[in-house]
Amino acid sequence: MQSTPTLPASLRTTMPYVDGAFVATAKRFANTSPIDGSRIAEVCEADAPLVDRAVRAARAALDGPWGALSPAERAQVLHRIADGIEARFEDFVAAEVADTGRLVEQARSLDVARGIANFRTFADLVKVGGGETFESRTPAGDLLNYTVRKPHGVIGIISPWNLPLLLLTWKVAPALACGNCVVVKPSEETPSSATLLAEVMHDAGLPPGVFNLLHGFGPGSAGEFLTRHPMVDAITFTGESRTGEAIMKVAAEGVREVSFELGGKNAAVVFADADFDAAVEGVLRSSFTNSGQVCLCSERVFVQRPIFERFVAALRQRTEALRIGYPDEPGVHMGSLISQSHRQKVLSYFALAVEEGATVVTGGRVPHFGDARDNGAFVLPTIWTGLPDDARCNVEEVFGPVCHIAPFDSDDEVVRRVNDSKYGLAAALWTTNLKRAHTVSRRLHVGIVWINTWFTRDLRTPFGGARLSGLGREGGRHSLDFYSEISNICIQL
pLDDT tens string 29-58:
999 999 999 999 999 999 999 999 999 999
Select the highest-mean-pLDDT range: 58-72, 110-124, 465-479: 110-124
The single residue of 189, 199, 261, 397 carrying the catalytic annotation is 261
261 is known as an active-site residue = yes
Say how far apart CA 493 and CA 487 lie, in whole Å.
Answer: 19
Scanning 371-454, the segments in alpha helix (DSSP H) are 392-395, 411-419, 434-443
CB 397 within 8 A of CB 299: yes
In eight-state DSSP terms, residue 5 is: P
Task: Determine the average pLDDT of the residues in 53-72.
Answer: 94
Amino acid in the structure at residue 62: L
CB neighbour list of residue 393: distance below 8 Å, 6 or more residues apart: 349, 352, 353, 356, 358, 384, 387, 402, 404
What was the pLDDT predicted at 481?
Answer: 93
What was the pLDDT predicted at 239?
Answer: 94
Confidence check: pLDDT of 1 > 50: no
CB neighbour list of residue 277: distance below 8 Å, 6 or more residues apart: none
Crossing angle (nearest 10°) for helices 164-177 and 71-87: 160
Amino acid in the structure at residue 89: F
CA-wise closest residue to 121 among 481, 475, 431? 475
Confidence check: pLDDT of 426 > 90: yes
pLDDT tens string 440-453:
999 999 999 999 99
Amino acid in the structure at residue 278: A
Amino acid in the structure at residue 450: W
What was the pLDDT predicted at 130?
Answer: 74
Say how far apart CA 115 and CA 403 lie, in whole Å.
Answer: 29
pLDDT band at 6 (very low <50, low <70, confident <90, very high): confident
The single residue of 44, 178, 181, 295 carrying the catalytic annotation is 295
Confidence check: pLDDT of 127 > 70: yes
What was the pLDDT predicted at 66?
Answer: 94
Confidence check: pLDDT of 210 > 90: yes
pTM: 0.95
What was the pLDDT predicted at 348?
Answer: 98
Give 73's Cβ-side CA count (13 Å radius). 9
Say how far apart CA 210 and CA 176 lie, in whole Å.
Answer: 8
What was the pLDDT predicted at 2?
Answer: 58
pLDDT tens string 261-297:
999 999 999 999 999 999 999 999 999 999 999 999 9
CA-wise closest residue to 78 among 164, 176, 162? 176
pLDDT band at 4 (very low <50, low <70, confident <90, very high): low
397 is known as an active-site residue = no
Confidence check: pLDDT of 319 > 50: yes
What was the pLDDT predicted at 3?
Answer: 62
CB 210 within 8 A of CB 60: no
Same fold, 9-262+469-492 and 266-458: no
Task: Determine the average pLDDT of the residues in 410-423.
Answer: 98
Say how far apart CA 397 and CA 104 lie, in whole Å.
Answer: 26
| Tally of helices (H runs) and strands (E runs) in the chain | 17, 23
Beta strands 28-32 and 470-471: pairing type? unpaired
Q: Where are the domains of the chain?
A: 9-262+469-492, 266-458
The hierarchical CATH code for the domain 266-458 is 3.40.309.10
Average pLDDT, the chain: 96
Pick the CATH number of 9-262+469-492 from 3.20.20.70, 1.10.1040.10, 3.30.565.10, 3.40.605.10: 3.40.605.10
Confidence check: pLDDT of 129 > 80: no
Q: Which of 305-319, 346-360, 471-485 has the lowest mean pLDDT?
A: 471-485
Say how far apart CA 401 and CA 384 lie, in whole Å.
Answer: 11
Helix or strand (DSSP H, E) at 424: strand 423-424
One-character DSSP codes across 182-243 = EEEE--TT--HHHHHHHHHHHHTTPPTTSEEE----STTSHHHHHHH-TT--EEEEES-HHH
Confidence check: pLDDT of 415 > 80: yes
CB crowding 164-198: b at 16 or more within 10 Å, else e: bbbbbbbbbbbbbbbbbbbbbbbbbbbbbbbbbbb
Say how far apart CA 228 and CA 455 lie, in whole Å.
Answer: 34
What was the pLDDT predicted at 131?
Answer: 82
